[in-house]
Structure 1
Amino acid sequence: MYAAGTPPTNGNRSVGVVAIDAVPIYRDGLSALVTRTPGLHWAGHAATHHAAMQLCEQARPDVVLIDSGIDPNCHLTRLLHTGDATLTIVVLVRDAARNPAYLAGILAAGARAAVPRNADSRRVIEAVRRAHLERRYVDPALAPLATRPKRRPATDDGQPPRVAGPAMPLSRREYQVLQLVAEGLENSAIAKMLFLSVETVRTHVKSILRKLSARDRTHAVTTAFRHGLLIPESCTDGADLAPLPQRK
């Protein structure tokens, strides 16, 4: 178990960094970059929302790097921020997400920084350090998107466009349970994975069905995918969670 970190960096204490990204070669690159940077250490990675929340609960990192492709509706950013307001969330923004609405959405959800996912290593490290110390940083390439006027043109129906995806009606734990339901796990298996009683899992499932106005578990999962509460993920097993051994 990692010790909880509280910013800013102080003395010789290194800053723990994790990455939430489904692309192994990209995670490996981030790991190598962080490992060779003085003052930072690599604390692990995850490739799914569920694994990301487990990783942050167990490793207690100072900084988490999130690929925008794995969090298109800002739900993971919001849940991680709600779970630990001191966590420095840096979003690595893909080209497809480089727009004022997405940038406003992640910052409103609790992200402390945004940097292009294809930025060079120097800029990624600068984003990590400045976000951790200053609590807010937007890469110069994205800054024009963040400083545009808040008033946005109306849509065809006369209403302003939404800044982010659909609101998250579920609690952090309910969201974890829903993800595992979507993976086909029964209540007993979910209980073991989340260290809960089966009765507690049943209570969460009932709450999920009520909040999503779903008839049953399958309907709840279908509704969640339709409304962007869940997104298709390339990796869904426990192997995606890979914290490193604690430093002595």
Structure 2
Amino acid sequence: MAHSIERGRTGPGTAGSRVLTVAALDSVPVYREGLNAVVSRTPGLRWVGHAATQHASMQLCEQLHPNIVAVDSGLDPQGHLIRLLSDGHPMMIIVVLLRQAHVGATFISAMLSAGAHGVVPRDADPRRLGEALRKAFVDRRYTDPSLAPLLTRQRHTTGGDGRAGAGVHRPRMPLSRREYQVLQLVAEGLENAAIAKTLFLSVETVRTHVKSILRKLSARDRTHAVSKAFRSGILVARAEGAPPGEGEAPPAAVGNTIA
């Protein structure tokens, strides 16, 4: 079954300096195209591709190992994907592109607590966005100037360090990375044999993961597990404007070697 992973075209780098690879984890085609253009115009950055779903995002990072990923806050509003990516790829820089509805101290702190290195408004000026990606990589922490006052006020109110304000905890993900991938595919309607083929696992291993998922989510069956996962925010519904199949390519189309 195809998944929403697409490899970008390689472009010219910047002579005499390291070229940083950038990928987008975003379900909105028009925004991905815009981000591609921003990255392509920013010296020292090179676009390597995008993923439009949470499962495809994990596949992309495992196969392409980008230096920087720009994550749409709408694709991962609970921070579960960010936590899994942060734990699985500690050297990768994660920058969250905040939708207007998510611009707030509590949400920003939760994303940083989950493992994000930077936060930038989704509607930021293109030049500023490109520079933000570079700065986040160099400093391993970046907050857009327009967002800094929110965290400053929170620090003054809570006495915290602004990275994870009082009462904001690292999002709890009850599932392992592999269980999360299996659950994503269960939600897409795949049976155990198809999941095994997609993830290069044995059918028995998939059955074991499904049993573990049901136990951890206290679910009666697969349908109940998927329902509870969506209600709790572990899974996020596909955004409007991103119909199944849009821009999809099979994982094999994403090369294991990135120049």
TM over 0.5: yes
Q: Kindly tell me: are residues 73 and 162 of structure 1, through their superposed partners in 2, closer, same or farther at Cα, counting changes over 3 Å?
A: farther
1:115 paired with 2:123, answer no
Which residue number corresponds to residue 168 of structure 2?
A: 163
Q: Which runs of 5 or more structure 1 residues have no equivalent in the other structure?
A: 3-8, 153-159
Which residue number corresponds to residue 89 of structure 1?
A: 94
Contact 1:90 1:115 in 2 (8 A): yes
Q: Distance in 2 between matches of 1:71 and 1:37?
A: 26
Give a deviation string over 1:94-141, Cα, whole Å, max 9, x none: 110011111001101111100000001111112101110011010011
What secondary structure, in the 3-state scheme, does the structure 1 residue paired with 2:90 have? coil
1:21 paired with 2:30, answer no
Q: Distance in 1 between matches of 2:71 and 2:255?
A: 18
Q: Which runs of 5 or more structure 2 residues have no equivalent in the other structure?
A: 1-6, 8-13, 159-164
Give a deviation string over 1:35-82, Cα, whole Å, max 9, x none: 122211111001100000000000010000001111110111111101
Q: Distance in 2 between matches of 1:184 and 1:243?
A: 23
Contact 1:114 1:139 in 2 (8 A): yes
Give a deviation string over 1:2-22, Cα, whole Å, max 9, x none: 9xxxxxx99533100000111
CA-atom RMSD in angstroms: 2.5
Which residue number corresponds to residue 84 of structure 2?
A: 79
Q: After superposition, where does 1:101-140 map in structure 2 within 5 Å?
A: 101-140=106-145
Aligned residues between the structures: 234
- Counterpart of 2:248, as a letter, is A
Q: Kindly tell me: are residues 246 and 40 of structure 1, through their superposed partners in 2, closer, same or farther at Cα, counting changes over 3 Å?
A: farther
Q: Kindly tell me: are residues 247 and 173 of structure 1, through their superposed partners in 2, closer, same or farther at Cα, counting changes over 3 Å?
A: closer
What secondary structure, in the 3-state scheme, does the structure 1 residue paired with 2:91 have? coil
What secondary structure, in the 3-state scheme, does the structure 1 residue paired with 2:184 have? helix
What secondary structure, in the 3-state scheme, does the structure 2 residue paired with 1:30 have? helix
TM-score (norm 1): 0.87
Q: Distance in 2 between matches of 1:197 and 1:41?
A: 36
Q: Distance in 1 between matches of 2:115 and 2:190?
A: 30
TM-score (norm 2): 0.83
Q: Distance in 2 between matches of 1:35 and 1:100?
A: 31
**Given the alignment, which residue of 40, 44, 49 partners 1:44?**
49
What secondary structure, in the 3-state scheme, does the structure 2 residue paired with 1:65 have? strand
What secondary structure, in the 3-state scheme, does the structure 1 residue paired with 2:38 have? helix
Which residue number corresponds to residue 182 of structure 2?
A: 177
Q: Kindly tell me: are residues 188 and 70 of structure 1, through their superposed partners in 2, closer, same or farther at Cα, counting changes over 3 Å?
A: same
Q: Kindly tell me: are residues 203 and 221 of structure 1, through their superposed partners in 2, closer, same or farther at Cα, counting changes over 3 Å?
A: same
> How far is the alpha carbon of 1:149 from its aligned partner?
3.3
Which residue number corresponds to residue 157 of structure 1?
A: none
Contact 2:105 2:154 in 1 (8 A): no
Q: Distance in 2 between matches of 1:174 and 1:69?
A: 22
Q: Which has the higher contact order (CA 8 A, sep 6+)?
A: 2
Q: Kindly tell me: are residues 228 and 164 of structure 1, through their superposed partners in 2, closer, same or farther at Cα, counting changes over 3 Å?
A: farther
Identity of aligned residues (%): 59
1:186 paired with 2:195, answer no
Q: Distance in 2 between matches of 1:138 and 1:228?
A: 25
Contact 1:166 1:227 in 2 (8 A): no
Q: Kindly tell me: are residues 67 and 229 of structure 1, through their superposed partners in 2, closer, same or farther at Cα, counting changes over 3 Å?
A: same
